Amino acid sequence: MKLEIGNFHVKDIVFGDKTSFIDGILTINKKEALDFVMQDERITEAELYIVKPGDKVRICPVKEAIEPRVKLNGDPLFPGFTGELCPAGNGRCHALKGTSLLVVGKHWGGFQDGLIDMSGEGAKYTYYSQLKNIVLVADTNEDFEKREQQKKNRALREAGHKLAEFIAMCVKDLEPDEVETFELEPVTKRSEDVQKLPSVVLVLQPQSQMEEMGYNDELYGWDTNHMVPTFMHPNEILDGAIVSGSFMPCSSKWSTYDFQNFPTIKKLYSEHGKTINFLGVIMSNLNVALEQKNRAAQFVAQIAKSLGADGAIVAEEGYGNPDADFIACLVALEDAGVKTVGLTNECTGRDGNSQPLVSLDEKADAIVSCGNVSELIELPPMETVLGELQALARDGLSGGWANDEILGPSVREDGSIIMENNAMFCGDQVVGWSIKTMKEF
């Protein structure tokens, strides 16, 4: 497979008469964009904003982030999800770089939603404060789940994915600033020089725990709860084969933008043929029952061993119950003779004294921590709020609360907040661009 991504670096975003990209300036016709969104009968109201790094803006409840892209051959950006099922990972797409489309609830939030500060102390906790963001704030007629703590957010998520492609259409026929090329030879057809290098496989454990459909990440439009561990070409992940779901405390979440730009995949690509032989990706899953967890780990180890992997990197989306899948996978790989490193966050409790992972094993002796979901964060008021800040306290966001007998409410009368890192939108970045580090006392 050969994937080419033509990059258009966005210097600024403005609203104007015609959606276009000229000299680094992305201009969006707001009315056309909103009319496109409102074609979905489930969307009852919508507004579009532009926010940039340094803006005194707080965004909550954030549900999704997508990089605006368009495929040159006319295939849907997210096959099986926003359009017909077709292969991903081959051919060429054009991408608007340095920007994301954020999907935000106008009123209702939930367990899986998060918060972004575009400036101040809070900006350091999430990658998305560094981007120029197109922000879709909308509400839906999905009354059945508005007051539910756990939401599928189906209409809002689909609206964001489709709008990201709609906006990117303006660069479909333009010449990009640069073209990134991602190509791997078939595993058994590689040169002798490459075959001599240590062989490495990346194991991904996207969110797939929910047995009821509609919450989990989707692979080619297929709920990942149905999946067994599968060998995939890394280009498929970078090219829209998988979209983020609507489950998991938000700092642990992998957005669709994260999948499209997966830093660990790109780093492994950069070392392929130099220091390693990058075999590809084993797309695994997260399960509920112990037998299911052990079965998936057995599948992963067998695939890795059959591929001839000398080493593996395992990354989990989530924490708590998924830790059992994560550790089981590491142990199974080590037992198969595959040296393994894990990427995860941890949950040590607000006092830092709890066991960081639900399950541990002495064979899991090389783990990179990407942050503590329980870390308390206190932030001053922000000039502008997009969405509804009260959702952090009222709607069961994983890092917020209505009231605490010691700490009080998460959202105070003056607009300042206190919350756990849990609610920072994709804050821990287990996908590979976390800037967090350890601190000794």
Contact, 72 vs 165, CB < 8 A? no
Query: How many other C-beta atoms are found inside a 10 Å radius of the C-beta of residue 99?
Result: 25
Q: What is the pLDDT of residue 354?
A: 87
Q: What is the pLDDT of residue 29?
A: 98
Residue 268 domain-assigned? yes
Length of the chain: 441
Residue 438 domain-assigned? no
Q: What is the mean pLDDT of residues 131-136?
A: 98
Residue 184 domain-assigned? yes
Query: How many other C-beta atoms are found inside a 10 Å radius of the C-beta of residue 47?
Result: 15
State which residues form the domain around 111. 2-423
Question: Quick check: 433 pLDDT over 90?
Answer: no
| Model confidence pLDDT, tens digit, residues 208-262 | 999 999 999 999 999 999 999 999 999 999 999 999 999 989 999 999 999 999 9
User: Which range among 77-81, 142-146, 258-262 shows the weakest confidence by mean pLDDT?
Assistant: 142-146
Residue 290 domain-assigned? yes
Residue 261 domain-assigned? yes
Question: Quick check: 438 pLDDT over 80?
Answer: no
Residues contacting 192, CB < 8 A, separation 6+: none
Contact, 204 vs 280, CB < 8 A? no
pTM for the predicted model, two decimal places: 0.97
| Model confidence pLDDT, tens digit, residues 373-390 | 999 999 999 999 999 999
Q: What is the mean pLDDT of residues 252-276?
A: 98
Residue 435 domain-assigned? no
Query: How high does pLDDT run on average in the chain?
Result: 96
Q: What is the pLDDT of residue 66?
A: 98
Residue 439 domain-assigned? no
Q: Given pLDDT bands bounded at 50, 70 and 90, which one contains residue 329? A: very high
Contact, 323 vs 316, CB < 8 A? yes
Pick the more confident residue, 137 or 434: 137
Residue 129 domain-assigned? yes
Number of domains in the chain: 1
Nearest CA to 58 among 429, 434, 419, 435? 419
